[in-house]
Structure 1
Amino acid sequence: MSLLVGKGDTIHFSENILDFTDGTLDATKLTISWKQMGRTRTETYIRCRFTVTSSERKDGQLFIQASKLQALIDKQDRDGPMIAVKVGDDFQFGQNQGRTERFLVFHDKNNKPYQHRFVEQLLVVLGDQAIDWARNMGFEGIESIRNKAADIIGEYLRDF
């Protein structure tokens, strides 16, 4: 069984996502900017942690386009204080080159930001709290982000 979250898995995340403005680590607001077709695009995303409970435990970061939050909530099944959503074709993912870490993105799939935009912005907003996650994604330290980002420019989010 894969240790990476995949299509068909049910992810669980805190209902605190509904109040993402409180600044807690359960949910963090990020502004992601990128160039697409020669124009600068910007979207607000909400970041939270998710888990998958199966025979092997998986977890990761979930990025939800703020204007799509209600659409994701509408897909939910309640699991106590957790929201449970099945990963399907409406999700995309980013992963490190070693394919050992994966994050999920729920957004308008016409948006085409590179994967590293999410990693970079999370470091800017959360600083030290995001460094471990960034290291797992292949970024050894803040000083290497520019170098690593240059290596993956053109690496779009992937479909399942």
Structure 2
Amino acid sequence: MPSPVESGQEILVPLFSAETAGAPVHVNWQQNLSQRKADYYALTADNITTGEQVPFFIAAEYYKTSTQANPNHITKVGKLVDGEGYKLKVNDRLQYGQKNTEGELRFIVYHDKERKPYQHRFIETAVGSATEGKTREMAKAFGFGAAGDQIMDHLKAIVGDYLNTF
């Protein structure tokens, strides 16, 4: 089991490519008594500090090439590593979710922190979308070989918890 990503470490987010990023996943939640939704890309980032990989969700508007004017776009906050991706320092710009207080199955989310979805919304979405290669890889990162009844057991451990800020 990989060690959880910690504040101060560095991660490498892959360069955007519609082909390799796949289709964005749709995350739905309720906030302030209204339904909300947003698109995210479910990626696997490299933890440069530890040499391990970590599930990484990034808001579509912070990642797509067509939205580079956004001041929070990955091209504005990360350091370009030619041909590989963007290096980010793990800090309070990023949030995370995890299975338990030991940091099992920790994943990172980069988005507008005014959004308040529960952690399980990301896992449900990634696992529920596990029909394509990239999301299947994400489901495996969360410990789900074949999405099934075990999904609910894992979700019960984190239902109702908001994302944490590093």
TM-score scaled to structure 2, two decimals? 0.78
Q: Is the 8 A contact 2:99 2:157 kept in 1?
A: no
Gaps of 5+ in 1: none
Q: What is the aligned partner in structure 2 of residue 77 from structure 1?
A: 79
Q: Is the 8 A contact 1:51 1:57 kept in 2?
A: yes
Q: For 2:75 and 2:108, how far apart are their aligned partners in 1?
A: 15
Amino acid at match of 1:11: I
Q: For 1:35 and 1:144, how far apart are their aligned partners in 2?
A: 25
Amino-acid identity (%):
25
Gaps of 5+ in 2: none
More strand by share: 1
- How far has the Cα of 1:49 moved from its partner? 0.9
> What's the Cα RMSD here?
2.4
TM-score scaled to structure 1, two decimals? 0.81
Higher RCO, 1 vs 2 (CA within 8 Å, ≥6 residues apart): 2
Q: For 1:36 and 1:155, how far apart are their aligned partners in 2?
A: 13
Amino acid at match of 1:92: Q
3-state SS of the aligned residue for 1:63?
Answer: strand
Amino acid at match of 2:106: R
Q: What is the aligned partner in structure 1 of residue 10 from structure 2?
A: 10
1:44 aligns with 2:52: no
Q: Which runs of 4+ in 1 moved over 4 A?
A: none
Tell me the matched-pair count. 151
Instruction: Spell out, residue by residue over 1:104-151, the C-alpha distance to the aligned partner (whole angstroms, 9 max, x if none).
Output: 101111111111111111112224544422327xx9952132344344
Query: Are residues 41 and 64 of structure 1, via their aligned partners in 2, closer, same or farther at CA, if it must alter by over 3 Å?
Result: same
Q: Is the 8 A contact 1:5 1:59 kept in 2?
A: no
Instruction: Spell out, residue by residue over 1:23-78, the C-alpha distance to the aligned partner (whole angstroms, 9 max, x if none).
Output: x3x45411000111221100001121111223x32321111111233422211212
1:110 aligns with 2:114: yes
